[in-house]
Structure 1
Amino acid sequence: MSTHPGPAAAGADLAQLALDFHHTHQLLDAAAQGVHKWEVRITAAGTPVGSLTAVRGLYWKSDNLRERMADEQSFPALVAAQLLDEEGRFTCEFEEFIESASSVLVVDGLHLEKTFADPLVVAVVVAAVIDRLTDNYFAVVLPAKNACTDAGSALLAEAGALLSAQEFSDELQIIDNALAAPEEAAQRVRSRLRSLARHGGPAAWDEDDDKDEGWDEDGEEDEKLTARTAAVLRVALEELSEQIWQDVAAVGDAPLGRGEGRVLGSLPPITFGQDQQWRRQMARCFDDLAADLTDTGTVRPGCTGEEMALHLGIDRAKTLTRNRPRLVAKTVEGLSEDHRDFDWDWCSAVLFEDHDVLMLFDASLDGIEDSGNEINQALGLANLAAADWFEPFRPGQARDPDRGFGRC
């Protein structure tokens, strides 16, 4: 099975792929209540490159779902014959196969230009269609290998396998939306296609999906952020800085619990009893990192506190790109685009020497910050105790101790 688009698809702008959902609902047509037919048009940079059909069969809204789906003919009719009995009820075999489905989504009729005709691309398209047209009570039906009558159905069969579909028969495979595995599989295929789109060519793709990203042509680690990535990360850090300084003013020296305060309460529990001076130093970490991004366009945490601040900053930047598209668009206005823009997973992998500080969130590792802890000693951990968070990793590159604080 192919696991990434060939040279043609890799050379195309995968980041510009989009779906246009088209459905006409006749308000007074009784037949329209039980079955909804959607034409999903696939475009790349606004140019049509393919389409597929998605038929929603709603069991409780149909007089007889088997007859109604059979009337659609072709693959939906085959699905109806195998999943429903003559009275329009789901068969015992189907009900035993599925966790708790009350409706079905039948995906077929795929036509896709050769440039994009790859199972990985199709799997991401199907995952998006599932997100748009179903909920947890749907069974999504795709062709199995023995039902493949053309190139489109063959691609759908391979895409189904990538999305953890299970074979119901020689001709049908089903994705059970009530299970976690299909959603996890969808996240994997999206991540793979996103990675390929960012790198812009098959040479950057690793079949094992384990290759470290973020290396330049000479094999040296490349820590330079793209201009747009740096701009959004700076906004995220500045936003967190504003919030944590508000926390410092509100909390002072008082102990706090998880969830109290907008930022302080999201730190590891070992920090909850620290005093105001410690909290001011933690707040300054966000300011220092934001200043680094302004001055150099990249960032490298110099102490444990800055590592934690950067982890939170990357998480917030990821949230901004998902939930605040207008703010992001305004932030990056005028900055040149790059296929590596907003690759927050790459940031997490490359901008840190290690992720040891995240162990402090694991309750099963309670006490790991103590230098006398066996796990601490075995792993060679350092500077995890809250009192050591602002000790520089590299004394020769320490920040000016007299730089003061940007806020009161």
Structure 2
Amino acid sequence: MKVTPRQRELLRVRLWVYADMLFDEIEEHGDKPVDPQGWWLVAPQLPRCTWHLDATWRRHMARAFDDLAGDMDAGALPYPRSIAEQLALRVAINGAQTAMIDHDYDEIVEALPQHPSDRDWARMIDELMSDRDIEAFYATNPAEVDAFLAIMPIDGWFHTFPDHPARKHNRGFRR
């Protein structure tokens, strides 16, 4: 079992929570650049190269969290279909892991069976993310990030990967 029931539920909850929080940040801050010292919770967890982007871009990013959460609500594991979804999934996995450590949502997962792999988040990442290229966007060397952005420019992060089913184009935004 590469994704345990408790991990799955914590991830599902985190995806919904992060989508809500990002929509809240958009309402509060609009197009302002991200200030990691300010009242931002989700946007600073995205790569620094996105911090200057506008509210429209952030709305699409919030929808990436929503889309993955919707996959989970439909009973599927959240396999990312775009770079944005890979980023959303990675951020949500980190949040789910922290939630488990901090005993957040214990009341939600307590009825689920315990499994020896409940705390093995690396195994979950391996299962859900076949490609970890997005980690290059978090490099501390700006030249490395720029080189990667030349290969995968931000304006293509919401495009569906080849050989993956596209999401409904007219699905809109939850809010």
268, 271, 288: which one pairs with 2:50?
271
Higher RCO, Cα 8 Å, sep 6+ = 2
Partner of 1:331: 108
State the shift of 1:297 in Å: 4.2
Q: Following superposition of structure 1 onto structure 2, how do residues 10-159 of structure 1 map, counting pairs within 5 Å?
A: none
Q: Does the 8 Å contact 1:303/1:389 carry over to 2?
A: yes
How many angstroms apart in 2 are the aligned matches of 1:291 and 1:243?
16
- What is the CA distance between 1:265 and its match in structure 2? 2.1
The answer for the alignment partner of 1:391 in structure 2 is: 159
User: How high is the TM-score relative to the length of structure 2?
Assistant: 0.87
TM-score (norm 1): 0.40
Structure 2: distance between partners of 1:264 and 1:392: 22
Aligned Cα root-mean-square deviation (Å): 2.0
1:241 CA drift (Å): 1.6
Render the CA deviation track for 1:19-51: whole Å, top value 9, x for unaligned. Answer: xxxxxxxxxxxxxxxxxxxxxxxxxxxxxxxxx
Alignment CA distance shift 1:390-1:331 (3 Å): same
C-alpha offsets along residues 381-408 of structure 1, whole Å, 9 cap, x if unaligned?
A: xxx322111011136501101111112x
**Structure number with higher strand proportion:** 1
Aligned to 2:146: 367
Instruction: Decide whether the 8 Å contact of 1:300 with 1:351 is kept in 2.
Output: yes
Cα gap change, 1:226/1:256 in structure 2, threshold over 3 Å: closer, same or farther? closer
The 2-side partners of 1:272 and 1:255 are apart by 6
Residues in 2 aligned to 1:265 and 1:298: alpha-carbon distance in whole angstroms: 25
* Whole-angstrom distance in 2 between the partners of 1:291 and 1:318: 20
CA-to-partner distance for each residue in 1:192-242, whole Å, 9 max, x for gaps?
A: xxxxxxx8xxxxxxxxxxxxxx5xxxxxxxxxx332221111111122122
Quickly say closer, same or farther: Cα 1:342–1:394, change in 2 above 3 A. farther
How many residues are aligned here?
Answer: 172
Distance 1:268 1:349 in 2: 20
- Distance in 2 separating the partners of 1:322 and 1:368: 35
Which residue of 1 is the match for residue 10 of structure 2? 232
Structure 1 equivalent of residue 117 of structure 2? 340
- Aligned position for 2:92: 313
**8 Å Cα contact 1:259/1:266 also seen in 2:** no
Q: Does 1:247 align with 2:25?
A: yes
> Which of 82, 87, 102 pairs up with 1:303?
82
The secondary structure found in structure 2 opposite 1:285 is helix
What are structure 2's unaligned runs of at least 5 residues? none
AA of the residue aligned to 1:237: L
State the match for 1:84 in structure 2: none
Partner amino acid, structure 2, of 1:397: P
Does the 8 Å contact 2:35/2:44 carry over to 1?
yes
- Uncovered stretches (5+) of structure 1, i.e. residues with no partner: 1-198, 200-213, 215-224, 377-383
Q: Name the residue aligned to 1:111.
A: none
Equivalents in 2 of 1:284, 1:338: separation in Å?
31
